[in-house]
Structure 1
Amino acid sequence: MIISIKNLEKSYKDFKAVDIKELNIKEGEIFGFLGPNGAGKTTTISILSGLYSKYSGDIKIFDKNIKEDPIFIKKNLGVVPQDLALIDDLTAEENVKFFGELYGLRGKKLKEAVNETLEFVGLLDRKKDFPPKFSGGMKRRLNIACAIVHKPKLIIFDEPTVGIDPQSRNNILETIQKLNAQGSTIIYTSHYMEEVDAICSDICIIDHGNIIARGSNEELKSLVKHEDGTEASLEEVFLKLTGRKLRD
């Protein structure tokens, strides 16, 4: 398992944001966290990426304890946050270079990695331009480039398609599938069920910090039966299990 979680709890005063008894994620898959805003997805991701240290429970990533080996884990982890992590005063090339240096890349290896990554996300011809000149979709692709320049084994995508057009969304989903095909394990959080349905091999439905159900697309959809025999959607499954809609 690339990630192993046991008895994870995170509270804010009297509010328990995350309460996961056990969760294991296999290496090489695209794992989907599906749930509405406020379900606990981002809090869980923040803990896994090392942003939150105050929580209870045991977490292992790459078979190493997250509290005991944080440097090793972070060097092999890429995080694409929901909020853009870009520096407007740096060019696209300089942004990716900056993050590459944070991950320890230097010299020729850094230069090659920056160019390869910008080419991978389709921005090599715009490398001298500044982020404010980019469309929303291009900014999202640059955000991804900054997170993958060091070729991480595990990449976390936290709502990476928020606020962009359908074409840019499809481009990002294709990029994620390519990264997975190249060997990276992906964790993908979203409240867009069609995205999770399209790319994820294993899906976890989360609400109020709890795992409600988990399985493949087919396994989850089998939990809801239509009288006419037609297949239920993930959104219908979520509504049936939680009494809530994915998107209000």
Structure 2
Amino acid sequence: MSDKLQQEKPPLLVSRHHKSEDTIINIKEAVIGGSSHTLIAGPCSIESRAQLVTVASALKEAGLTVLRGGAFKPRTSPYDFQGLGEEGLKIMKDVADEIGLVTISEIMSTNQIDTAARYIDIFQIGARNMQNYDLLKAVGQTKKPILLKRGLSATLEEFMLAAEYILHQGNDQVMLIERGIRTFEKATRNTLDISAIPLLKQETHLPVLVDVSHSTGRKDILLPCAKAALAAGADGIMVEVHPDPSIALSDAKQQVNIDEFHAFWKGLCNSGLYH
């Protein structure tokens, strides 16, 4: 993979050959990349103001700076909850401004960019849209930081080239996130590719994070997988938090409640790996 990428002329903008030092993304109180780690947390879907206030308050109490939450939800079934759309983004901005957090939310199409830009700090490009090249080009023309998720069956080369589309348009504020890939294994929702972390850190200058909720789909192994990700060199972790996962409108099984979140956070802090 490395040799193949080196043959590109000129060197890829995402590559260490183009930029040797790490990219560090600063937005408000949040710093992603560099010498410190970042924990990004929040519900899979924004469902109500009360729900988001409960989660955001817990994050703030723990000292976190970044809140995630879905308003536009790409679901496998058309009958599943699709998100609150712009109303969800309004709720997120209101809560984040009140409590003092940076926000991340997914956009799925180019016609959502201008609307979402009014409410959120970081655009998330989800796994299903990793190779939506028109969308990648469009967010590359914005000044918003971009969180790019690895596709369900994407190779690391394809993942890096997807990021290249964004940088090629002039936006170098890009974060990569490993969220598990599709394999034959059924014990977990996806298969967490730990090897992707050191390889991406070696090949690119972009921050690399790991979504332990989507990669595992299991609350009982979130902490050891997060520790493994940090040990492999990840710059941060993403985890899904809901006040009452049993009634969540999406991804109920993999979201942790507030007490479980605090236990997870304590476990990370006490591991000696998170700093």
The TM-score normalised by the length of structure 1 is 0.40
Q: From the two aligned structures, give the one with the greater strand fraction.
A: 1
Higher relative contact order (CA 8 A, sep 6+): 1
